[in-house]
Structure 1
Amino acid sequence: MNTLSNPPRVVVVGAGFGGMQTAQSLAQSGAEVLLIDRNNYNTFIPLLYQVAAAQIEPESIAYPLRTVLRRAPRTQFLMATVQNIDFEHQVVETADQLISYDYLVLATGSQTQFLGVPGAMEHAFPLRTLDQAVTLRQHILQRFEQAAREPDPVQRQQLLTFVIVGGGPTGVEMAGTLVELKRAVRRDYPGLNWQDMQIILVQSGDNLLANLPDRLGRYTTRKLRQLGVKVHFQTRVSRVTEQAVEFQNGSVLPVGTVVWAAGLEAAMPAATANLSTARKGKLAVRPTLQLIDHDNVYAIGDLAHAEQNGKSLTGVAPEALQQGVAVARNIRRQLRGKMPTTFSYLNKGRLAIIGGYAGVGKIGPILLTGFLPWLMWLSVHLVYLPGFRNRLAVLLNWLHGYSRGDRAIRVILSAPMTTNPSSDGAQGDRPLLLAKSTGHF
């Protein structure tokens, strides 16, 4: 093993919104900064669902980390997976290196939470990584092709039945964009009866978009139903199989695709089992974002349980970005022998996109519905998307898609077959097993 030790050193584990912002904000701190991630790119997660629905190219929401750090000479990038962290001796271990640190920032984000539902991990499609988005896109396009050559009308309807589990932003966005995809491809499949295509959104609670006011959730429900999405509340999935979804009320729904958007859990880095945790297994942090157990270790984003005014922060991208700036500021203060300061999140508002040129939003006390928040959502995400080339590519795809009602990215690439949608490969063109519907759904 190579041993690296060049103090003062700040090691940042995870190159999501928070981790990348921390590394950039420390560029002029005088410390050596090392950013570690298993991928050599940053993924713009808010647009993953558009990759899955063949609206934009996957490359347009990925940005090379070395390019991001090019103008920060004291900041380096290491493509590796952290295998262990020795907090006592302040060492991060990868497959072939021991890396000492003076300050450590944990920003490993979140991963899909399957809630212990049997078969969900094996047969439902998560949407948290670029590989998963491409896998889902491949699968959806294959379902259209399979349906086009399927003579049995019952099995054809099953192929075109999409169930989305979870009524948060990802579930709502996915339901809306599938409606738009259906409209875009129908002229390419003149032999299909598009009445067979069902888009079903199931939510365990009694409203959509729980982090927004109820009025906006009700508007979202009405809009989705107007678009043709079947929305079911107080509905819990008990099992997912290759060909059906089973619900706790005993009903069974034959399906061709299940998208899992029911929740997230912290993606804990190695050797954090003995650290203090809070709700949902997240790492407990002080108001300064330092770990309870270590003064020189910070946690941010989905990994950290941070509170403000007695309420838990949700870990959305704007929070992670502001936390990255705050942590960098606190580390600079510690390097100068000063005490870290309390993190305070400035909530600039929240937007969600539905589809059909409609969205919802809350900015201060103002609630927005319809076209304006839809346009604001697109504009904000275009501004925050890293890289001019990426912004231009996404903008052109949007202009083409929304003006012509078309989806240009519909190529099915050859890929090894996998039976697990949660893995990184794309599913092969496997036959659909016919399931029998039971109960009322």
Structure 2
Amino acid sequence: MDDRPAHVVIVGGGFAGLWAARALARAPVRITLLDRGNHHLFQPLLYQVATAGLSAPDIAAPLRRILRRQRNVEVQMATVSRVDAQAREVELEHAGGRRRLGYDYLVLATGATHAYFGNEHWAPHAPGLKTLDDALELRRRLLLAFERAEAATDPAERDAWLSFAIIGGGPTGVELAGTLAEIARHTLEREFHNIDPARARVRLVEAGPRVLSAFPEDLSRKARRQLEQLGVEVLTGAPVEDIDARGYRCDGRFVPARTVVWAAGVSASPLGSCLGVALDRAGRVKVRPDLSVPGHPEIFVAGDLAAVERPDGRPVPGVAPAAKQMGRYVARRIRARLGGRAVPDRFAYRDYGNLATIGRMAAVVELGAWRLSGVLAWWFWLLAHLFFLIGFRNRLVVLLNWSVAYWTHQRAARIILGGDDRSDRD
């Protein structure tokens, strides 16, 4: 009889993968956690790194450190290129080459990336924001734009460098647009001789009829009003037709803008496509109600890679709380199978509401029947994000940085590193 503990392979150290690993801490299993990077990233604050409010270590922590006291888990830095469901193996790529790793249970939680809706040639001109590398590249571009405007001698070129476009009116786009407007009007005040940063034009371009479409209409209207009070030009019902190095085309009109940011869509990790099961339009795996893959009860998919419906037919949103809940649920399923116990055969998502910050003392919050906007919503957003950050040090550093920014309008990470052809590094 084989007395070895079951081997659980978890692919992805984001919210779903990490919460699954933690929930299996006392289970009689051996866990291998695989990730391309060595850190867990608190994605809801990634835009703060992109806009120089925080540094990378403030919102990320090494996976090995987070799990250092969990004896049944091993962390490996590697890329999973393929899943062989029949052989119950994953194929790894790492510094030492390629190899295969067997599993008894597999948890795929590799998240999502940018989706340009078939216009992949836009990517070099309109970077998205999903990883720390993305944030550092975007921070470099945003800060360099003001430097290039300062050095420009042609008025049209100067205006193009001072023109910023955020494509997509979801939470990420709203947060970026509001923060960028604050940087231009307050943080950079009186720092340049040839330009007035406050003259920068920040446009938020949304193809749909309103920003923050996942929120109730009244909060969406309040969010738009708060953005406009910060100086952001909000364009709705305006799908982008083309993007190049000089700017973008919208409603048949070309708008010169040397800095364009993509926040309009996401596509699931390509790893789901090798399972040989149905995918939705965004490439997410259509899982069973218990988050397992049809035909393979030993494989689970969680987080942004999973296409899950609620009992009323609405999709489970791709947000951090949903990913955490999926990770914990998958761990419960695995523990129950090992112990021969029953567990609910349907994942039940608990919706704790929506939050989005717009700028200094401006935010919107939806908590069931409770709807907040303005200062109260901003304080709630701040406390909620501090609470969910991993580690006491991260919370303390973020709180100090936010306190300084609140009283001085200054941003702690405004250092440009690297040339125009490569990303900077903290």
Using the size of structure 1 for normalisation, the TM-score is: 0.91
1:154 and 1:271, CA in 2 relative to 1: closer, same or farther beyond 3 A?
Answer: closer
Q: Compute the displacement of 1:78 (Å).
A: 0.6
The letter for the 2-side match of 1:136 is: L
> CA–CA distance in 2 between the matches of 1:415 and 1:390?
29
Q: 1:139 aligns with which of 120, 138, 141?
A: 141
> CA–CA distance in 2 between the matches of 1:41 and 1:128?
14
For residue 301 of structure 1, what is the aligned residue in structure 2? 303
For residue 243 of structure 2, what is the aligned residue in structure 1? 240
> CA–CA distance in 2 between the matches of 1:149 and 1:186?
17
Residue 392 in structure 1 maps to residue 390 in structure 2: no
1:166 and 1:150, CA in 2 relative to 1: closer, same or farther beyond 3 A?
Answer: same
For residue 49 of structure 2, what is the aligned residue in structure 1? 51
2:70 is paired with a residue whose SS is coil
Q: Compute the displacement of 1:59 (Å).
A: 1.6
For residue 421 of structure 2, what is the aligned residue in structure 1? 417
Question: Any idea what the Cα deviations from partners look like across 1:171-222, whole Å, max 9, x if unmatched?
Answer: 0000010012111112211431235310000100111111110111111111
1:122 is paired with a residue whose SS is coil
For residue 333 of structure 1, what is the aligned residue in structure 2? 336
> CA–CA distance in 2 between the matches of 1:270 and 1:195?
45
> CA–CA distance in 1 between the matches of 2:82 and 2:229?
51
Question: Any idea what the Cα deviations from partners look like across 1:341-396, whole Å, max 9, x if unmatched?
Answer: 22111112211111131111111111111111111111111111112211111111
1:417 is paired with a residue whose SS is coil
Asked whether the 8 Å contact 2:326–2:347 carries over to 1, the reply is yes
Q: Compute the displacement of 1:294 (Å).
A: 1.0
1:217 and 1:276, CA in 2 relative to 1: closer, same or farther beyond 3 A?
Answer: same
5+ residue gaps, structure 2: none
Q: Equivalences for 1:32-47 in 2 at 5 Å?
A: 32-47=30-45
> CA–CA distance in 2 between the matches of 1:83 and 1:193?
49
Asked whether the 8 Å contact 2:286–2:306 carries over to 1, the reply is yes
The letter for the 2-side match of 1:390 is: N
Deviation beyond 3 Å, 4+ runs, structure 1 = none
1:226 is paired with a residue whose SS is helix
For residue 100 of structure 1, what is the aligned residue in structure 2? 102
Question: Any idea what the Cα deviations from partners look like across 1:214-235, whole Å, max 9, x if unmatched?
Answer: 1111111111111111111111
Asked whether the 8 Å contact 2:112–2:266 carries over to 1, the reply is yes
> CA–CA distance in 1 between the matches of 2:153 and 2:306?
52
> CA–CA distance in 1 between the matches of 2:173 and 2:404?
24
Residue 62 in structure 1 maps to residue 60 in structure 2: yes
Asked whether the 8 Å contact 1:40–1:66 carries over to 2, the reply is yes
> CA–CA distance in 2 between the matches of 1:415 and 1:326?
45
Asked whether the 8 Å contact 2:5–2:28 carries over to 1, the reply is no
Question: Any idea what the Cα deviations from partners look like across 1:390-410, whole Å, max 9, x if unmatched?
Answer: 111111110000111111221
1:270 and 1:219, CA in 2 relative to 1: closer, same or farther beyond 3 A?
Answer: closer
Residue 364 in structure 1 maps to residue 362 in structure 2: no
Question: Any idea what the Cα deviations from partners look like across 1:141-200, whole Å, max 9, x if unmatched?
Answer: 111111112122221111010000000000000001001211111221143123531000
1:119 is paired with a residue whose SS is helix
Q: 1:324 aligns with which of 320, 327, 346?
A: 327
1:225 is paired with a residue whose SS is helix
Q: Compute the displacement of 1:280 (Å).
A: 2.5
Q: Compute the displacement of 1:279 (Å).
A: 4.5
> CA–CA distance in 1 between the matches of 2:328 and 2:151?
54
Aligned residues: 416
Q: 1:197 aligns with which of 200, 219, 240?
A: 200
The letter for the 2-side match of 1:244 is: G
The letter for the 2-side match of 1:211 is: A
Asked whether the 8 Å contact 1:245–1:254 carries over to 2, the reply is yes
1:426 and 1:123, CA in 2 relative to 1: closer, same or farther beyond 3 A?
Answer: farther
Residue 128 in structure 1 maps to residue 135 in structure 2: no
For residue 79 of structure 2, what is the aligned residue in structure 1? 81
Asked whether the 8 Å contact 1:14–1:36 carries over to 2, the reply is yes
Residue 345 in structure 1 maps to residue 349 in structure 2: yes
For residue 387 of structure 2, what is the aligned residue in structure 1? 383
> CA–CA distance in 1 between the matches of 2:165 and 2:56?
23
Residue 109 in structure 1 maps to residue 115 in structure 2: no
> CA–CA distance in 2 between the matches of 1:149 and 1:16?
41
1:97 is paired with a residue whose SS is strand
Using the size of structure 2 for normalisation, the TM-score is: 0.94
> CA–CA distance in 1 between the matches of 2:420 and 2:36?
22
Q: Compute the displacement of 1:97 (Å).
A: 2.6
> CA–CA distance in 1 between the matches of 2:120 and 2:300?
35
The letter for the 2-side match of 1:405 is: H
> CA–CA distance in 1 between the matches of 2:4 and 2:38?
23
1:416 and 1:34, CA in 2 relative to 1: closer, same or farther beyond 3 A?
Answer: farther
Residue 312 in structure 1 maps to residue 315 in structure 2: yes
1:137 is paired with a residue whose SS is helix
1:29 and 1:405, CA in 2 relative to 1: closer, same or farther beyond 3 A?
Answer: same
Q: Compute the displacement of 1:306 (Å).
A: 0.8
> CA–CA distance in 1 between the matches of 2:276 and 2:332?
27
1:275 and 1:297, CA in 2 relative to 1: closer, same or farther beyond 3 A?
Answer: same
Q: Compute the displacement of 1:270 (Å).
A: 6.5
> CA–CA distance in 1 between the matches of 2:126 and 2:281?
26
The letter for the 2-side match of 1:10 is: V
Q: Percent identity?
A: 41
Asked whether the 8 Å contact 1:204–1:236 carries over to 2, the reply is yes
Question: Any idea what the Cα deviations from partners look like across 1:395-435, whole Å, max 9, x if unmatched?
Answer: 111000011111122111125714xxxxxx359xxxxxxxx
1:6 and 1:99, CA in 2 relative to 1: closer, same or farther beyond 3 A?
Answer: farther
